[in-house]
Chain A
């Protein structure tokens, strides 16, 4: 059962989100909630079944799901709440989250601190303006990865992969493992965009040809991809006429970059760096919106999951510190209650610690005139803290009473303060 108020809410349960939630819990946050849109915790690591994760943090060579499993187990053993299969629709700068799910319906959650850990999204065909017809069989490498590794579908049998990013190269090997033929990997830039070791163990090992300075000129096919036309590009990345080549295939995978996913961040008023496409953050991973932190690929796209985990740990610890400070502020802050013959009091709330050094002026108006001497009394519910004499009170004339540093000792114990204006007896 989820609560209405949390110390820290983390959006996303990939490596950044899991680490943030764990660190928040270990650094003083009592109630921590992870909201995840998938049916289980773990994020994209669950489809990254290849090994190579955790070399820095665990000094072990783990597959993605195994790396995630360690953090999932830790999060659950720490008693962190989870809302799965749940979408965050909106968040605002007051750290209110509006979420919905089939199971729990619509829900509003308030949090003292939020960690944004939504990760990133793959750039699609539309974002790189690939010309040609629009047949089935053009997918991002990550989509193909999810189908192949989690859902059990092969996206095709003869592939061309555009982009030499890590996911593209890893999928080239993976599809080869599952019996497909990867005809070619094309890279627009004159250099590899992924890690060199993936070139070795994913392409070289399986004789998959890589062509640098090449791109897809045109997609051919009506219902299904039948071929692509590749072309070489010059130093300004413009196609060189006469270098076109038709490569028959039934599927084109795109591994052409990742973009931090910040739709929700923007709703909360988080400012985005146009270079990283992620929030501007300080050394605590706090965004420009107080109490809203961000960690992992939502900030900038990392090379290694280990570094995402480290960023998550840091952001989570910072969020916990912020939440604890908020909680203390809430405890110090007590309501001013308009009692007998008082219509309202300004200020509405009082931070008790402020009384230690300065006078606090309470100003109010009465409901009804009393044309005889009165007491303006400040109570903490049982004890009278201070009172002031007035010869009369009238709604048209504001009444003022001051709390002084000498009253602090008594006010410190109070849960609220009430002002009554009563006839002097």
Chain B
């Protein structure tokens, strides 16, 4: 059964409305995307939706009590809450450098969680 799924592309701030014609996971037509990245997004969204995740972890003796962190690659949507649970357990020592790995190979998915900014020690 061919069906049309309406999606909104989140690859960039334009937010194109996209109509995907597909039979199960087989896509027969994509209309409304403004660029190649949009097409890639749509294909992924239908089969394996993923999101970048940003949160914070605790810091000991930093300028602030938290340091912001983010996933270096998009994470499968159903695993977001599992990742957040892991991040809540983490406490790191200041100073922290931008890009420093906070959680390596998160949930065994091959994705690292890194610090978004420097956090000086006080």
Q: How far is the CB of A46 from chain B (nearest CB, A)?
A: 7
A89 at the interface (CB under 8 A from B): no
Interface contact B117-A46, CB-CB below 8 Å: yes
Interface contact A177-B98, CB-CB below 8 Å: no
B95 at the interface (CB under 8 A from A): no
Cβ-neighbour of B98 out of A52, A66, A196, A200 (below 8 A): A66
Kindly report which residue of chain A lies nearest to residue B55, judged by CB atoms: A177
Give the docked Cα–Cα distance between A200 and B13 (Å): 12
Interface contact B63-A50, CB-CB below 8 Å: no
A351 at the interface (CB under 8 A from B): no
Specify which chain A residues have a CB less than 8 angstroms from the CB of B55 in the assembled complex: 49, 177
A396 at the interface (CB under 8 A from B): no
Cβ-neighbour of A197 out of B13, B56, B77, B80 (below 8 A): B13
Selected interface stretch from A96-104, A147-155, A358-366: A147-155
A65 at the interface (CB under 8 A from B): yes
Which residues of B line the A interface, CB within 8 A?
Answer: 8-10, 12-13, 15, 17, 51-52, 54-56, 58, 63-66, 68, 70, 77, 80, 84, 98, 116-118
Specify which chain A residues have a CB less than 8 angstroms from the CB of B65 in the assembled complex: 151-152
Kindly report which residue of chain B lies nearest to residue A40, judged by CB atoms: B63
A395 at the interface (CB under 8 A from B): no
Kindly report which residue of chain B lies nearest to residue A39, judged by CB atoms: B63
Q: A62-B116, A69-B117 are in contact. List 14 more A-B contacts (CB 8 A).
A: A49-B54, A49-B68, A52-B13, A61-B52, A65-B117, A66-B117, A69-B116, A152-B58, A177-B84, A196-B17, A197-B10, A200-B8, A200-B15, A205-B51
Give the docked Cα–Cα distance between A177 and B77 (Å): 13
Inter-chain residue pair count (beta carbon < 8 A)? 75
Enumerate 5 A-B pairs (CB-CB under 8 Å) in ascending A order. Answer: A49-B56, A55-B13, A152-B56, A152-B65, A197-B9
Interface contact A63-B70, CB-CB below 8 Å: yes
Specify which chain B residues have a CB less than 8 angstroms from the CB of A417 in the assembled complex: none
Specify which chain A residues have a CB less than 8 angstroms from the CB of B58 in the assembled complex: 152
Interface contact A152-B66, CB-CB below 8 Å: yes
Interface centre among A39, A62, A152 (most CB of B within 10 A): A152
Asked whether A55 and B12 contact (CB < 8 A) given A49-B54, A149-B56, A151-B65, the answer is: yes
Specify which chain B residues have a CB less than 8 angstroms from the CB of A40 in the assembled complex: 63
Specify which chain A residues have a CB less than 8 angstroms from the CB of B64 in the assembled complex: 150-152
Q: How far is the CB of A80 from chain B (nearest CB, A)?
A: 17
Interface contact B66-A196, CB-CB below 8 Å: no
Specify which chain A residues have a CB less than 8 angstroms from the CB of B9 in the assembled complex: 197
Give the docked Cα–Cα distance between A270 and B13 (Å): 33
Interface centre among B13, B80, B116 (most CB of A within 10 A): B116
Kindly report which residue of chain B lies nearest to residue A49, judged by CB atoms: B68
Q: How far is the CB of B24 from chain A (nearest CB, A)?
A: 22
